[in-house]
Structure 1
Amino acid sequence: MAKINGLTHCSFRTNHFDEMVHFYRDILELPHLFTLRNEDGSVWIEYLKIAPREFIELFNERYTGDNNWRNRAHQHICLMVEDIVEAARSLEAKGVMICHGPIMENPPYRIPYEIDHSRGKCNSYGFFVHDPEGNEIEFMQYTDESLQVVNDHD
């Protein structure tokens, strides 16, 4: 098999399409890249850019059932940032609730990030937020001691 050399996109179906586009485009400040349309001209997918050739796909397609961590296989996506405190403060200023850990930590405790920015078990800095559909998004800043860094020998 050919070598896999990246993750191109994460995609979400959404019951709250406009809110999701607003969150990813305006709150997380991901640039809008393009829109794919159905034959009738209605919006099918919005593409937002994370990094070069890495994207979020928002499908304007409803799903049924509950979208909670107990009812899905996927846990969260993780976005890398250069300054974890700046990222947290920026999101807090926009009214986004910052959680110290994932939702499965019962409950994920809320704390202003500047008070506690300790490293996780992997020696990286991180925090979690939730988009309008309840999907978890982790933000991570690597350190020189991050296990992701010290064990990556490519």
Structure 2
Amino acid sequence: MRGITSIGHVAIKVKDLDASLDFYRERLQFPEMLRLKNEDGSTWLVYLRITDDQYLEIFPGAENDRAPGWNANGVNHMCFIIEDLDATAERIKAAGIKLTAEIKQGLDGNRQAWIEDPDGNRIELMEMHPDCLQFKAIAELRKQRQSA
């Protein structure tokens, strides 16, 4: 759709804000950019930086202890692009985060590993292979645009 240029942020609702901030801000090292407060002074959301124009919004006060299961309606997982998956996986393990699936090659040709946040939100860590299906599809799309 014309006019949409990228994903700006992903917003998640969490049960324990402190545990989520420890996970995302301290362990994954996403810097806190800002907090928005409710009229009573409580935190409405915390805005964390993934890149200069991609963010994670964390809203406290979730009703459930865990995110819906793999087959539930809604967002299935988040995916973070990783430059060096082996080094990142080691850093994540050293930060006390367990890989829920070891590094493997996905059907798209990319290398991936999986983790979960404290609320059970599934996170894919993906190292894009230069010959992956996504890059092939983008090249084909660009080729079609040029010939049109």
State the TM-score bracket (shorter-chain normalisation): 0.7 to 0.9
- What are the Cα deviations for residues 51-82 of structure 1, in whole angstroms up to 9, with x where unaligned? 12100000022224752314442110000011
Runs of 4+ in 1 over 6 A off after TM superposition: none
The answer for unaligned runs of 5 or more in structure 1 is: 101-110, 112-116
Normalised TM-score (structure 2): 0.86
For the aligned residue pairs, the C-alpha RMSD in angstroms reads 1.7
Determine if contact 2:16/2:61 at 8 Å carries over to the other structure.
no
Residues 19-38 of structure 1: pairs in structure 2 closer than 5 A: 19-38=19-38
**1:90 aligns to what SS in structure 2?**
helix
Q: Structure 1 residues 98, 63: CA separation in 2 closer, same or farther (over 3 Å shift)?
A: same
Residues 36-55 of structure 1: pairs in structure 2 closer than 5 A: 36-55=36-55
Q: Does 1:140 align with 2:126?
A: yes
Q: Does 1:129 align with 2:130?
A: no
- What are the Cα deviations for residues 113-135 of structure 1, in whole angstroms up to 9, with x where unaligned? xxxx4421100011000000000
The answer for unaligned runs of 5 or more in structure 2 is: 143-148
- Residue 87 of structure 1 corresponds to which residue in structure 2? 88
Normalised TM-score (structure 1): 0.83
Aligned length: 139
